[in-house]
Amino acid sequence: MARGEIIINDNNCRGCGYCQGFCKRGCIVMSEDKFTPLGYILPILADSDRCNACGVCGQMCPHFAIEVYKFIES
Amino acid sequence: MTERMFVQGNEAVGWGALYCGCDGFFGYPITPQNEVTQWFAHEFPKRGKVFLQSQSEVGSINMLFGGAAAGFRVMTSTSGPGWGLMQETISHCVAAELPCVIVLVQRGGPGAGSIRHAQMDYITATRGGGQGGYKNIVLAPSSVQEIHDLIQLGFHLADKYRNPLVILTDGILGQVSESIEVKTIDFGPLDKKLWALRGRERQEDGKSRIVNSAVGVLPLPPYPNYISWLKHIEEKYREMEGSELRYETYEAEGADLILVAYGYTARVSKEAVNMARAEGHKVGMIRPITLWPFPYSVIREKAMLGCKFLVVEDSLGLLIDDVKIGVEGRTDVHLVGILDRHIPTDGGMIMPGRVFEEIKRLL
Amino acid sequence: MNKKKVCGNPKIWKDPPGAVMYCPGCQHPVIHRIISEVLEDMGIDGKAICVLGVGCHAFVQISWNLDILSSAHGRALDSATAVKRLNSDAIVFTVQGDGDCIGIGAGAFIGAMVRGEKITTIMYNNTNYGTTGGQLAPTTLLGQKTATTPHGRDAALEGYPVHTAELAATFKGTAYSARGSVHTPADYQRTKRYIKTAFQKQIDGVGFSFVEVLSACPPNWHLSPVKCLKRIGEDIVSEFPLGEFKNEDSTERLSKSK
């Protein structure tokens, strides 16, 4: 069960692939067929259930394209 | 509160700066202006003001860039080679609209030239020596009192127009001692420096600011683009030309021959005019106090009346070009220059007697 | 189920959207993020005055909601010196590139350390002049191809990579000097700690503080972003070891330090 989620802002993303590289749980992979408005390859969520909201992908993203949220039991 | 004292021209720079609220001096040793730097080293720290000797004149002028951006009254003083090193950032100061004062105590050139007096930096001072063809007001004192007074005017005009300003003296004026009256001169109110950098929280409106000289790469509000910014600068130059021109005339009414000189050679020329007048010759003088803006109109008027011109400057001929522009070919313009000094070694000076000889030759 | 944002734009990051000025995979904005986090964590962004050099790092001025001075190329530390001397309770820091700081700016850099200015300098080291198209920099590695060393840097012609953090540590006026990188999440945290320590030296008024941070530059290294990180981990870190090279807590110890 996912403990968090990420939102990728495709206006900022430049398809550099760091998020895929840094996600320890393989939640993010570079897509084959999805592009940003500027034509960069867009990363997609391969396995959002494994996301534990560690925030590394957002922290290491050079283009400030990823927001990370942690789910909190209300 | 006024105080009388007997000081060197170079020291008068300090007293003038102190009495108009200069906050910081950043300098580097170079003859013949060392007494300026030393004055600030002795007098500023004990008054809680900043004195700093930089690692080079490139360092000094960039310290001015920083100090001015932070909203303080800052200045430096230098000579020939140091002046050359400062050109790039003086241009940055114009672009970033940062007020500061640079005292240039001229020495012989080109190259290392000589460590004694001369007037050979006229062009780089009045035509913008760095990149981009900018302008800056140039004030030329010709006495120790006037050095004290023009430093204060200089800070006022630099702040008024947010532009660097040059005080142009020379090795003789710097070393000469005269008695002066030291006082704060009030030139009227100035706008608060709301544009200065203080830290976002310490701004009155709580908004952050940018000071930048890359006006084409990153135009800052309210100028949407490069050309709109340049138009603003052009208007600023027109305003300076329109309202900041200053010059003095001496015995120029009805004169047949007009001498044009600034700085120490203006003192020499005044003496020569007196010698000529004593023998009944109708000779007068125009002494520009602002070398930019330059007094073209009064020169044009005299030329139209048929006056001849004799430029007296301690160089191979730089000021003479501006006089020719004013005269517009209506009459001939002669020169007593550096080659007319009284002795050939670098201690040589242009003497009143030599100027008087030239006057008699021309009349 | 509601959610809390754990990672997004730093508080002092202005809109428009993020670091749009940077090449894909350029790590400069990652360092910008670290500095933003440190300034916010220490609560000093409101009284900070940033003096930028000239280079890719300087594009941060369109994004940081700080008072920023964009100085002449190589002269950030001269300008910052005057700002700090005249306004000593501001937090004054310079952000410069390797070319800006230890190339053209070596005179200002050494001047500031000789004087022990209480300024913090962060030098982004991408081993080339990035903005102008990837020319040789003092930090370029031997054998590294650049726009001005097409056959690779040759010691006989272009000398040797300069070790700026180690150089800074040799000055008595330097209170703190370290080199970090951001090629792994662990290095991100370590570099953040170095930068926080550096700012603390300024707050404590000990002396000059310096942090060099390695940064990937895909277009000018002619490598994909991920391969750049590999290059940092292998070649660059072996030339430029990471760590702290000087860490003194008081001016008294500075005057005694070797």
Q: Please indicate whether, in this complex, the C-beta atoms of C66 and B208 are within 8 angstroms of each other.
A: yes
Distance from CA of B94 to the nearest CA of C (A): 13
**C-alpha pair distances (Å), B176 with each of B25, B77, B160, B213:** 22, 17, 31, 38
pLDDT class of C255 with cuts at 50, 70, 90: confident
pLDDT tens digit sequence for B247-288: 999 999 999 999 999 999 999 999 999 999 999 999 999 999
Domain C23-250, CATH among 3.40.50.970, 3.30.70.1350, 3.10.105.10, 3.40.630.30:
3.40.50.970
Q: Is the pLDDT assigned to residue C29 strictly greater than 90? A: yes
Percentage, residues of chain C above pLDDT 90: 92
Encode burial over B299-328: b for 16+ CB neighbours within 10 A, e otherwise.
beebbeeebbbbbbbbbebbbbebbbebbe
CA atoms of C18 and C14, how far apart (whole Å): 8
Distance from CA of C173 to the nearest CA of A (A): 34
| Helix C28-42 and helix C185-203, axial crossing angle in degrees, nearest 10 | 50
Residues 165-204 of C with CB under 8 A from B: none
pLDDT tens digit sequence for C111-164: 999 999 999 999 999 999 999 999 999 999 999 999 999 999 999 999 999 999
CA atoms of B123 and B118, how far apart (whole Å): 13
Both tokens of A30, joined, read: 């570079």
Q: DSSP secondary-structure letter at B186?
A: P
Encode burial over C79-101: b for 16+ CB neighbours within 10 A, e otherwise.
bbbbbbbbbeebbbbbbbbbbbb
Q: What is the mean pLDDT of residues C92-110?
A: 98
pLDDT tens for chain B, residues 1 to 363: 679 999 999 999 999 999 999 999 999 999 999 999 999 999 999 999 999 999 999 999 999 999 999 999 999 999 999 999 999 999 999 999 999 999 999 999 999 999 999 999 999 999 999 999 999 999 999 999 999 999 999 999 999 999 999 999 999 999 999 999 999 999 999 999 999 999 999 999 999 999 999 999 988 889 999 999 999 999 999 999 999 999 999 999 999 999 999 999 999 999 999 999 999 999 999 999 999 999 999 999 999 999 999 999 999 999 999 999 999 999 999 999 999 999 999 999 999 999 999 999 999
Which residue blocks in C56-154 are alpha helix, DSSP H? 76-86, 98, 106-114
Handedness of CA B153, B155, B157, B160 (dihedral sign): negative
Query: Which of B22, B200, B202, B205 is the best residue to mutate to test the C interface, defined by the most C CB atoms within 10 Å of its own CB?
Result: B200
**Fold for the domain defined by B247-362:** Rossmann fold (3.40.50)
- What's the one-letter identity of residue B321? D
- Cα angle for residues C65, C68, C73 (degrees, 5° grid): 140
pLDDT for C258 equals 63
Phi, psi at residue C190, to the nearest 5°? Answer: -65, -45
Q: Is the pLDDT assigned to residue C228 strictly greater than 80? A: yes
The ranges assigned to domains in chain B are 3-182, 247-362
Both tokens of B97, joined, read: 């609209």
pLDDT tens digit sequence for A2-57: 899 999 999 999 999 999 999 999 999 999 999 999 999 999 988 889 999 999 99
pLDDT for B1 equals 67
Q: Does domain B3-182 have CATH number 3.40.50.970?
A: yes
pLDDT for A46 equals 87
pLDDT class of C16 with cuts at 50, 70, 90: low
pLDDT for B219 equals 85
| Helix B226-243 and helix B144-161, axial crossing angle in degrees, nearest 10 | 140
Distance from CA of A37 to the nearest CA of C (A): 13
Q: Please indicate whether, in this complex, the C-beta atoms of C229 and A18 are within 8 angstroms of each other.
A: yes
Both tokens of C126, joined, read: 């991408």
Q: Which chains touch C (3+ CB pairs under 8 A)?
A: A, B
Q: What is the mean pLDDT of residues C80-106?
A: 98
- What is the separation, in whole angstroms, between the first and last Cα of chain A? 16
- DSSP string covering C166-186, please? HHHHTSTTEEEEEEEE-SSHH
pLDDT tens digit sequence for B131-187: 999 999 999 999 999 999 999 999 999 999 999 999 999 999 999 999 999 999 999
Q: Is the peptide bond between B222 and the residue preceding it cis, with omega within 30 degrees of 0? A: yes
Residue among C4, C9, C225 whose CB faces A17 most closely: C225
Q: DSSP secondary-structure letter at B180?
A: E
pLDDT for B340 equals 98
The ranges assigned to domains in chain C are 23-250
Q: What is the mean pLDDT of residues C9-36?
A: 87
For residue C85, how many C-alpha atoms fall within 13 Å in the half-sphere facing its CB?
30
pLDDT class of C219 with cuts at 50, 70, 90: very high
Q: Please indicate whether, in this complex, the C-beta atoms of B63 and C65 are within 8 angstroms of each other.
A: no
Q: Is the pLDDT assigned to residue C176 strictly greater than 70? A: yes
pLDDT for C252 equals 86
Which residue in chain C has the smallest CA separation from B22?
C86
